[in-house]
Structure formats: structure tokens, C-alpha cells
Amino acid sequence: MHESSTPKDNLFLSHPRRFEANRYVYPVLSRRAGGMSIGVNLNLDKSCNFRCVYCQVDRAAPQRSEPIDLQRLAHELDAMVGQLASGRIFQHAQFRTSPELLRRLNDIALSGDGEPTACADFAEAVAVCAEVRRRHHLEDMKLVLITNASLLDQARVVRGLEILDANNGEIWAKLDAGTEAYYRQVARSAVPWPRILDNLRQVAVVRPIVIQSLLMRTGGQAPPADEIDAYCARLGEIMAAGGRIKLVQIYTVARRPAEDWVAPLSNVEVDALAALVRSRTGVLVAAFYGS
């Protein structure tokens, strides 16, 4: 499964997390979702326990932490589902040129400007998303959690995952490294590397998960072969423990990264890595290009 973009596909390369007067909810035309995704930003304070070298979020300005206004979140979700269901969203300048094939509502995705599970009201926000989905009779629409997997073992997060599981939910979990050294280089996080691996194994035993892996050039160099070997071994360990991997998404930098020494891989390199992971692990792999 491959996707590429051309200059006319700039709508794929910009995913602003603000839309009109909304505070939490924003629409995204998503190649990886295969349609329109309704984003839910639970990190207005841009709180994240990773500081990824490729992240496009500007965390320089101090932000004030505040609880989620669940009533406003529900109102914004209701209105956004209505815009998408009626097709009014495609009259908006941002989405006027959207391909017909992708003019479908695929999911509500908990993501945003930081790690969504870091939000104190994570479980409550998942419940709001599930209720809006039920109210609009969208039982086939997915609820997606996009996460770095660092907090999936916490009790308050597990409560949210249980709501997710009961409502056609899916976890898209980050794994950008095969070794602790590379993880430290890329994620620049104080979260212990073994915790990330343990959490991935544990959640994958309960339900199938999607692995998201952003691979890139750092200092002009693609990921070394031994790092990719180790990455494939980590995927193998998840499956050997009884975990189920529904899909691995191999993609690269598509927007301006945090560090100027980070650059995208070429389409050929992305294809080669996807093929290698597929052959080594036997899992389904999708490749997405940066340009």
C-alpha cells in the first residue's frame, strides 16, 4: 500500500489544529486514514513527554494548563460531524479540492499538540467522542487514539481504552526506534524505553493495534541497517508475546521538523524500508511519502 503526494496535494501537507472558532475539534484530510478525520486536540497547553526531533509543534511559548470543557467538546464534535455528513465542509477553501475518493468520514482521532493520554480528562473525552458517535448513528466509524504509548499502563488511561474498545476504537501507537540509543536520539524523552516496549506488548495482547513509525534522515544519514534490524526484532517480540499488529505505517517527514538536521527519506528509501519490514516480520505494511 503506497501513497505519494504532488505539489497539488498541499492539502495533505498542512494539518492545522484550529478550525474556525473551534477550540478542540478540527478536520483533517488524512492519507493514512483514507478519508476525512475529525481531530480532537486534548493538549491545548502543548503538553508532551516526548520532544521528537521531527515534531512540527512549536513548544517555545509557555502555555497555561486548563481542564477540558467537555460540554464545548461535545458541541464542537456535533457540529463538525454535521458539516461532514452534509458535505458542507467541502465548500470551505481548505477542502474544496479534496479528491472525491477521500470525501468520507473515517474517524474521530484523539491527537493534537501533545500526548493525548497525558490529559487528565482523557477517559471523559473518549466518552464524549463515543456518545457523539452513537447519537449520529455512526457505529461503523472508528475512534482512533494516536499515542506515543508512554502512559498506556496508567489506570485512568486504561479506563479510556476500555471505552475505546467498546466503540470501534483503534490504537495507533508510535514506534520510531529499535534500540534505546536511537529512541533517546529521536524522541528525546525521559520515559524509560522498556516502558514503551512493555506498554506496546500489553495493549497489543488485548486488541490489535496499528504501529506508526516515522523514519527520516538525521544529519544527512538514513537509519542504519542495524537499527532497522533491531526495529524489526521489536515488532517480532510484540507478536511473540501474543500481541496483534493490524498494520505498520512506515512514513517520513512531511512538514517542517523541529530540527534543521532532520530531513525526509526519498520515496525509494521509504519503499525499500517498508518492503524490508514486511519481509522480516510478515505484518501488513503501508508506506507513505513525505513529498
For 223, residues 6+ apart whose C-beta sits below 8 A from its C-beta are 182, 215, 216, 231, 273
User: What was the pLDDT predicted at 8?
Assistant: 38
Q: 89: which DSSP letter?
A: G
Number of domains in the chain: 1
Cell of 214: 516515522
Which residue is associated with the grid cell 524509560? 192
pTM of model > 0.85: yes
- Per-residue pLDDT at 218: 96
Joined together, the cell numbers standing for residue 248 give 505498520
Residues 6+ apart with CB under 8 A from 158: 152
Q: If the chain, 291 residues long, is cut into consecutive pieces of 10 residues, what is the mean pLDDT of each piece?
A: 40 53 88 82 91 87 79 96 85 79 86 92 97 93 97 98 97 98 97 98 98 97 97 98 98 91 96 98 92 50
Q: Give the structural domain span for 137.
A: 2-288
- Predicted confidence at residue 215, as pLDDT, reads 97
- DSSP per residue, 32-70: TTTEEEEEEE--TT---S---TT------S--------H
Query: What are 248's strand-pairing partners?
Result: 211, 285
Question: Domain holding 161: CATH number?
Answer: 3.20.20.70
Q: What letter would DSSP give residue 221?
A: B
Amino acid at the residue 271: D
3-class SS at 160? Answer: helix
The pLDDT, as a whole number, for residue 13 is 47
Q: How far apart are CA 126 and CA 167, in angstroms?
A: 10
Length of the chain: 291
